[in-house]
Structures are given as structure tokens and as C-alpha cells.
């Protein structure tokens, strides 16, 4: 059931395991002490004066995927992304980039990581107000020591790529919010990083501009295939951009899975409440609604749809055909969907047949993701840690 996610190949870009970030006095003792680690946030604060922003989080970011971390404000997602390049120093746990331990890096290696391998885009853009657009974009190259002419030439290319031609000599104050974020994006792209980190980049923008920028990111990802870690509090955005989504609450990952898994089989009531208003037919695929073909005749004739087509696409096909439709994987019929099953999905009913299996599997998977931290210490020493996520499990 690896629908949209790129198959895992080799070392993950980021491998995070058992990660903690605790703010407060003597923060170090919290992750190590099982009694303290088990406390809920309010109790922890009253007992120790500490706030655990990230609690025992583990996940892998695979090469080429868009990995979304979603949660409400205060859920620890922004802290988490800053821990990846140690803009915030983690309290405990391991972070590896391409298998290299980030927490063990010295100042120079860490700077090299930030300069060349991971670049970040910020919610409020973080542009330098006294520099022109071009010099802002070239800033990352400038601090690497690149000469003026060369870095300006490179920056001009990237400025064109994000659609800001003709604005090179403006100052950030003269740009609209969307344009400023394009500058922020260009600055991150200019250093040609291996992975792009986005910290709620579009939250401060108007809805229409936000959609434009989301499409810009989709386009960039399609064109360049760059790995992205994307933080957002907007579920629509997460579903639209994410190959996989980690849903955070109170510093923990409560569910990690594809958009379809999150919407189709929420791990708990919190996630269920979160995804309740999502138009399910646009996220779930026909796999959720299909049943095995009843007769060989049903499996051989009639119009077909792809297995990763959304339910809403299948509804269109069914209503056009007036009968049930086959689900074809490489020309082989893997099942059949009819109007009733599709309507059930839209209505949020538990689908029969294959769908219910998927539900159960995804549910246990989410539970596995939440439990993962507890099992992590045993895995930590392994030279090539097995991918901690569980979505590769065969369904």
C-alpha cells in the first residue's frame, strides 16, 4: 500500500529516532527518566518546570519525498524541524542525515550541513530588509565565500525560476507577502540543498496566494524531485503536498502515514476529529471502496480506472458508465467499485471488503508508529537503522 510514496531506496535523507526537546531547568533528566517521560505536559510542567516540545519522536524522510509534519500550534512541529539542523539543540535522541550523525557534528561540519545540504524557508520569510531581492537570494552563496559576479548570476537564475523576474533590485519592504516568500524560497533554492525544510511557509499569506505558492512547491518538486520536509498546521495543505504525513499532538507523533491512511483510517479520536471535514472522495482512492469481482464476466468487461484514482474520479466514471467499474492495475482487474460502495466512502461509512482490511492494518500501523519510540533504544545502536516507519508493511 505504498500508493504515492516513493519506494524507499538506500539510506533515508533524515533518520530521526527517539528525539526529545525539553525546555526548562535541568531539561536533560526528563527524557532519561521513564517516570518523568510518561507524564502529560501539564503535570510535567508543575512537577519539573519543564516543557517538552518534542517527545520521543522518530521517523525517516526518504529521498525525493515530501514529508509533512502537521499539528496545531504548540504541538512541537516547528521545534522539531529546527532540531533537524540543530537551530534548536535537541535534548536527547539521534538525528542522521544520509547516515551521518548530526548531533555529533562540530561547529564547522554543522555549518557545512546548513550551507550545502539543508536549507530552510520560514513563516515570516526572515529576509534582510537592507538588501535587494537579488542580494537576499545570493546571501547563502555569499556566506559560502562565492564571488560577487558568480553568485549574482546564480541568484538571478533562481529568481527567474520562482517567477520574480524584473524585481531583482527591489527591497523586501516593496514586495507583497507572496513575493517575499518567493524570495525566501529562492534563497533556500540558490544554495542547491539536498533537502528543503519549510516551516509553515504559507501560513502568513492570503488564501489565494497560498494556493499559488502551494502549486509552486508542487511544480518545483515535480521538476527537481528535491526532498522536502514541510511543516504546516493546515490539513488541506498537508494532504495536498504530502507524500507522507506525520500528525503531531503535544510533542508526539500520533499517526504517520499517507494522506489516504490518515483520512481513511484515523489512529485515534483526535485524528478522527481532525480529518472529519475533509472531503474524503478527493483523498481516498478506489482501493478503499473496491470489492472483489463477483463474476468473471464482471472482471472482464466494462470501463476501468487506475487503483490510485480518487473516489471522486471513480464516481465520475461510474455515473458516466451507469454500471460498476473495474479497477485495473497494469490491465489486470484487481477489483470492482459500484455506486453504493463509493457513496459509502463519501458518507464516511466503514467500507466493506478490502477497505475494512485496510482500515485495520492502518490502525495497527499508527499504533505501531506511536509505540515506535519505546522500541527505539534497542535499534539505536544499529549501524544502518531499519526504517522506523511502518508503512512498508505489506497489506
Residue 24 is placed in which grid cell? 526548562
Task: Report, in Å, the least distance between residue 151 CB and another protein.
Answer: 13
Burial readout 10-46 (b: 16 or more C-beta within 10 A, e: otherwise): ebbbbbbbbbbbbeeeebeebbeeeebbebebeebee
Is 80 among the residues that bind another protein (CB under 8 A)? no
Size of the site for another protein (CB under 8 A): 33
Pick from 368, 366, 350: nearest CA to 264: 350
Q: Are strands 304-305 and 325-329 parallel, antiparallel or unpaired?
A: parallel
User: Could you say which of 49, 72, 174, 219 contacts another protein (CB under 8 A)?
Assistant: 174
Check if the beta carbon of residue 347 is closer than 8 Å to that of residue 314: no
**d(C-alpha 151, C-alpha 50), whole Å:** 44
Q: Name the region of 190 (left: φ>0; alpha: ψ -120 to 50; beta: rest).
A: alpha
Is 115 among the residues that bind another protein (CB under 8 A)? yes
User: Could you say which of 12, 18, 64, 184 contacts another protein (CB under 8 A)?
Assistant: 184
Is 273 among the residues that bind another protein (CB under 8 A)? no
Check if the beta carbon of residue 218 is closer than 8 Å to that of residue 241: yes
Q: Measured from the CB atom, is 5 or 119 closer to another protein?
A: 119
Q: Measured from the CB atom, is 85 or 390 closer to another protein?
A: 85
Check if the beta carbon of residue 11 is closer than 8 Å to that of residue 268: no
Q: Measured from the CB atom, is 112 or 375 closer to another protein?
A: 112
User: Could you say which of 30, 52, 83, 119 contacts another protein (CB under 8 A)?
Assistant: 119
Contacts of 101 (CB under 8 A, 6+ apart): 94, 95
Q: What ranges in 267-338 are assigned the alpha helix state H?
A: 269-275, 280-283, 286-289, 296-300, 311-321
User: Could you say which of 20, 59, 67, 125 contacts another protein (CB under 8 A)?
Assistant: 125
Tally of CB atoms within 10 A around 177: 16
User: Could you say which of 126, 302, 307, 353 contacts another protein (CB under 8 A)?
Assistant: 126
Tell me, residue by residue from 186 to 215, as one string, x for binding to another protein by CB under 8 A and - for no binding: -x---x-----x------------------
Residue 336 sits at φ, ψ, to 5 deg, of -135, 140
Residues 308-327 close enough to bind another protein by CB under 8 A: none
Q: Measured from the CB atom, is 82 or 280 closer to another protein?
A: 82
Q: Which residue has the cell 527537481?
A: 224
Is 111 among the residues that bind another protein (CB under 8 A)? yes
Task: Report, in Å, the least distance between residue 187 CB and another protein.
Answer: 8
Q: Interacting stretch for another protein, rule CB under 8 A, among 9-17, 113-121, 318-326, 329-337?
A: 113-121
Is 122 among the residues that bind another protein (CB under 8 A)? yes
Q: Interacting stretch for another protein, rule CB under 8 A, among 138-146, 312-320, 327-335, 343-351?
A: 138-146
In order of 117, 183, 212, 221, 230, the CA distances from 218 in angstroms are 20, 17, 10, 5, 12
Q: Measured from the CB atom, is 184 or 264 closer to another protein?
A: 184
3-state secondary structure of 123: coil
Q: Which residue has the cell 533504544?
A: 377
Q: Interacting stretch for another protein, rule CB under 8 A, among 2-10, 49-57, 168-176, 314-322?
A: 168-176
**d(C-alpha 266, C-alpha 363), whole Å:** 7
User: Could you say which of 29, 45, 63, 171 contacts another protein (CB under 8 A)?
Assistant: 171
Q: Interacting stretch for another protein, rule CB under 8 A, among 6-14, 171-179, 313-321, 324-332?
A: 171-179
**d(C-alpha 219, C-alpha 210), whole Å:** 14
Tell me, residue by residue from 139 to 158, as one string, x for binding to another protein by CB under 8 A and - for no binding: xx-xxx--------------
Residue 324 sits at φ, ψ, to 5 deg, of -75, 160
Q: Which residue has the cell 474524503?
A: 280
Q: Interacting stretch for another protein, rule CB under 8 A, among 121-129, 215-223, 232-240, 267-275?
A: 121-129
Task: Report, in Å, the least distance between residue 365 CB and another protein.
Answer: 33
Q: Interacting stretch for another protein, rule CB under 8 A, among 97-105, 109-117, 312-320, 380-388?
A: 109-117
User: Could you say which of 72, 104, 112, 395 contacts another protein (CB under 8 A)?
Assistant: 112
Binding residues for another protein, rule: CB under 8 A, are 82, 85, 87, 110-116, 119-120, 122-130, 139-140, 142-144, 171, 173-174, 184, 187, 191, 197
Amino acid at each position: 500500500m505504498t500508493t504515492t510514496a516513493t519506494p524507499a531506496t538506500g539510506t533515508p535523507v533524515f533518520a530521526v529516532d527517539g528525539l526529545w526537546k525539553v525546555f526548562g531547568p535541568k531539561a536533560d533528566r526528563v527524557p532519561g527518566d521513564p517516570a518523568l517521560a510518561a507524564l502529560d505536559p501539564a503535570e510535567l510542567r508543575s512537577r519539573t518546570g519543564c516543557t517538552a516540545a518534542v517527545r520521543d519522536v522518530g521517523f525517516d524522510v526518504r529521498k525525493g519525498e515530501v514529508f509533512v509534519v502537521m499539528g496545531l500550534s504548540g504541538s512541537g512541529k516547528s521545534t522539531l524541524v529546527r532540531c533537524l539542523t540543530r537551530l534548536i539543540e535537541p535534548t536527547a535522541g539521534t538525528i542522521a542525515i544520509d547516515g551521518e550523525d548530526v548531533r555529533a557534528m562540530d561547529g564547522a561540519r554543522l555549518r557545512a550541513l546548513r550551507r550545502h545540504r539543508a536549507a530552510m524557508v520560514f513563516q515570516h520569510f526572515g529576509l534582510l530588509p537592507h538588501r535587494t531581492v537579488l542580494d537576499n537570494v545570493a546571501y547563502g552563496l555569499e556566506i559560502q565565500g562565492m564571488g560577487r559576479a558568480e553568485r549574482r548570476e546564480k541568484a538571478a537564475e533562481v529568481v527567474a525560476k520562482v517567477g520574480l523576474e524584473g524585481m531583482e533590485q527591489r527591497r523586501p519592504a516593496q514586495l507583497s507577502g507572496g513575493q517575499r516568500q518567493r524570495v525566501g524560497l529562492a534563497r533556500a533554492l540558490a544554495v542547491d540543498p539536498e533537502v528543503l525544510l519549510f516551516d509553515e511557509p504559507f501560513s502568513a499569506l492570503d488564501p489565494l496566494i497560498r494556493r499559488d505558492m502551494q502549486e509552486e512547491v508542487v511544480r518545483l518538486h515535480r521538476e527537481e524531485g528535491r526532498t522536502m520536509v514541510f511543516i504546516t498546521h493546515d490539513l488541506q495543505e498537508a494532504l495536498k503536498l504530502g507524500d507522507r504525513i506525520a500528525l503531531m499532538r503535544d510533542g508526539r507523533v500520533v499517526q504517520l502515514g499517507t494522506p489516504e491512511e490518515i483520512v481513511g483510517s484515523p489512529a485515534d479520536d483526535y485524528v478522527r476529529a481532525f480529518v472529519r471535514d475533509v472531503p474524503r472522495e478527493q483523498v481516498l482512492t478506489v482501493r478503499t471502496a473496491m470489492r472483489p469481482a463477483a463474476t468473471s464476466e464482471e472482471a472482464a468487461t466494462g470501463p476501468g480506472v487506475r487503483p490510485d484514482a480518487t473516489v471522486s474520479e471513480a464516481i465520475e466514471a461510474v455515473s458516466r458508465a451507469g454500471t460498476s467499474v473495474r479497477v485495473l492495475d497494469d490491465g489486470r482487474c484487481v477489483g470492482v467499485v459500484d455506486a453504493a460502495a463509493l457513496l459509502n466512502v463519501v458518507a464516511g461509512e466503514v467500507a466493506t471488503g478490502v477497505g475494512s482490511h485496510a482500515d485495520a492494518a492502518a490502525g495497527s500501523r499508527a499504533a505501531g508508529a506511536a509505540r515506535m519510540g519505546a522500541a527505539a533504544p534497542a535499534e539505536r545502536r544499529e549501524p544502518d537503522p531499519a526504517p522506523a516507519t511502518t508503512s512498508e508493511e505489506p497489506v
